[in-house]
Structure 1
Amino acid sequence: MSNEDLKKKLEALSSDELDKVCARLQYTKLKNPTLAFWVYNFLLGGFGVARFYIGQIGFGIFRLALTLLSIIIGFVAESSYDSFWISVSKMFDYGNFGIAIIDLFIVGVLLRNQNLEKVNLIIDEVKS
């Protein structure tokens, strides 16, 4: 659902229906995209916090496990000075960094879509 579709649905409502939608929105828990981006994604994204926040528990666990594994392999590489462990550590670090960059863009879009769907459901319930 896009903003344009939602705008058209809202414009098609009568004033009574619009009042009902506004009343229902006051009690709906819409998630804050600014908080999700700056705190959960930008600062704590490596631990999967942003993915947990938007309800993607499996991917959040994956991000957390990848970060912890990267830290552990980094310690092993630093203590052993073995070129194999150093290259494996760099591979995990680059992979984790790549996923973090992708998440900076994806999490906001997913959260926006979740919020739009909640508003859309409220409009549909009020209409019927």
Structure 2
Amino acid sequence: MLELNTFFHNTFHHIGDFSRNNCVSICAFLVPANMLATLQTMILVALSRPATELRWTISASILYAAIMVLHVFSWFIAGVVMAPTFILLFLGSVCLGLNVWAIAHPESMARLLRSLVTLVLPSQFNTNLN
């Protein structure tokens, strides 16, 4: 049992070190990937795309958001509590929440997104969305 405990301790220690040593590169990839994948999910939900098509984008979005949240937690474990860690945690949590909403209630998300589009776009474009 001690060997398994040591294995997990060493593994998480190395993953945490990797996360903290390559923070700029990880965030340079995860922030835009997270935002673009969540935006793609929202667009596909608003267009009422089939569930099979949504699964791939939602899966990628949730993966990016979960990795970002775990990356921020590695900084919290190291004792770094600064504005960027909270901003990244907020971004990851919001993206995660939007994707869970897209899984649980795509109809309500689509209805909200369509009503937002009708407020923003001129009336000539509104007929194509309903």
TM range (shorter): 0.3 to 0.5
TM-score (norm 2): 0.35
Pick the structure with greater CA Rg: 1
Which structure ranks higher in relative contact order (CA pairs < 8 Å, sequence separation ≥ 6)?
1
